[in-house]
Structure 1
Amino acid sequence: MPSIYQFKSRFQSLLRPLCILMARMGITANQVTLFAMMTSILMGLWLSLQSDSRLPWLILPLFLLLRMALNAIDGMLAREFNQQSALGGILNEVGDVVSDIALYLPFCLISNQPAWVIAAVFLAFLTEFIGVLGPAMGALRRYDGPMGKSDRAFIYGGFALFFGFFPALASWTSALFAVTAGLMLWTCMNRAKGILTRPS
């Protein structure tokens, strides 16, 4: 199933010079992972506390791009600079879920039906949980779409940008999260199917 995740290798190529520089500076993959998670929490708090201000919503797309870059860099540091560890794997998966919750729950504050936002955030967690089940069941970690981590960042970040310029779009928040919730349910099924049909 198509997903922005398919462009990850090209994105990593762009980031490789920065990754090499960070490795030479002694920055570790786990430090990058923790930094991404903590800044996501702070960004989410800013959105929650100033949801009626345009600035944090306009900044969110840029922050999501930064988060995607950091997520790519921590993986590259781990794989290419011999920093892989069990702790790093835990931090990576937990960090993704915590960051999603922190960054997307604030959309409840601009939605007229926040239950859809909550449902989408729960399904975002479920997509990652099912993806992680792959290795636990002797298969690969699943990244199937159509609504993986990168896709969520692109769609929600794009909506935040438009909302920052046109606040009247708040009335469309529930519809957006309802549609993406459906796509994430589809993603869950695709990942589960991938584990069952391609176990290795």
Structure 2
Amino acid sequence: MFDTEGTAGAPAGDRRPLASRQSRWAAATLRMLLGTSVTANQISVIGILFALIGAAALVTAPRWPALFILAALCIQLRLVCNLMDGLVAVEGGRGSATGALYNEVPDRLEDSVLLVGFGYAAGLPWLGFTAAILAVFTAYVRAVGASHGFAQDFRGPMAKPQRMAALTLGCFLGLAEILANGTLFSLQAILALVVLGAAITGLRRLGRIADLMKARP
């Protein structure tokens, strides 16, 4: 997705590098959306709704395991919204003066509610909150670098696409495990991996900013 997708004409260096942006399904979805009156900002808001539904599904999935499938679907639909709002804004020319706000603020909310929901599903709410804090931290560090004139740093190992891929995988692993054994240890392992990876991601981005600052004349 774009991390400046709400802003038409954003520099190429400010876009998250994603192969899906050039995929056939993305092009087809873009054509469909441009055939309607939907705006980029509206798509961003829809992404919040998918994240909230996904988080609610995660919280209740240990009691009704089939909801893990709904949660995985909502996680992916949230990412589709994150991709399509940028395409509609930039390629479709439907950006707005407030596009940057609609791009960044929903992303942070969506990350947080899904990670917290995953923590409750794993039986470790505190770890979910930790993951949410670190996810916001990595985005904050990226914004700090941009505020100093550096290119947006989307490096991982646990940037947003990787976090959401891990949660999606965790949903299917959790479904299989709870049906087979009645346990959800796989969710705890996935969440611990997300926390560790997000911490490393934030530190890597901080290190890059420090190196760039030192290299300035």
- TM-score grouping bracket, smaller chain normalisation: 0.7 to 0.9
The RMSD of aligned alpha carbons is 2.2
Task: Using the TM superposition, give the Cα deviation of residue 57 of structure 1 relative to its aligned residue in structure 2, in angstroms.
Answer: 0.8
Aligned partner (choices 82, 89, 102) of residue 113 of structure 2? 102
TM-score (normalizing by structure 2): 0.79
For the residues of structure 2 that align with 1:61 and 1:43, how far apart are their CA atoms? 7
Task: Using the TM superposition, give the Cα deviation of residue 37 of structure 1 relative to its aligned residue in structure 2, in angstroms.
Answer: 0.9
For the residues of structure 1 that align with 2:185 and 2:28, how far apart are their CA atoms? 42
Unaligned runs of 5+ in 1: none
For the residues of structure 2 that align with 1:172 and 1:43, how far apart are their CA atoms? 18
Identical aligned pairs, as a percentage? 21
Q: Which structure 1 residue ranges, 4+ long, deviate > 6 Å from structure 2?
A: none
Say if 1:136 and 1:130 are closer, same or farther in 2 by CA, change over 3 A: same
Q: Who is 1:166 aligned against?
A: 177
Q: Who is 1:27 aligned against?
A: 38
Q: Who is 2:194 aligned against?
A: 180
Residue 94 of structure 2 aligns to a residue whose secondary structure is coil
Aligned partners of 1:142 and 1:195 also within 8 Å: no
Q: Aligned runs of 1:31-180 on 2, under 5 Å? A: 31-167=42-178, 168-180=182-194
Structure showing greater relative contact order (alpha-carbon pairs closer than 8 Å, 6 or more residues apart): 1
Q: Which string of whole-angstrom CA distances, capped at 9 and with x for unpartnered residues, describes residues 69-108 of structure 1? A: 2111111111212333442111211111111122221223
Residue 145 of structure 1 aligns to a residue whose secondary structure is coil
TM-score (normalizing by structure 1): 0.85
For the residues of structure 2 that align with 1:53 and 1:11, how far apart are their CA atoms? 32
The range that moved more, 134-143 or 30-39, is 134-143
For the residues of structure 1 that align with 2:52 and 2:123, how far apart are their CA atoms? 24
For the residues of structure 1 that align with 2:105 and 2:44, how far apart are their CA atoms? 10
The range that moved more, 21-30 or 167-176, is 167-176
Say if 1:198 and 1:56 are closer, same or farther in 2 by CA, change over 3 A: farther
For the residues of structure 1 that align with 2:141 and 2:183, how far apart are their CA atoms? 32
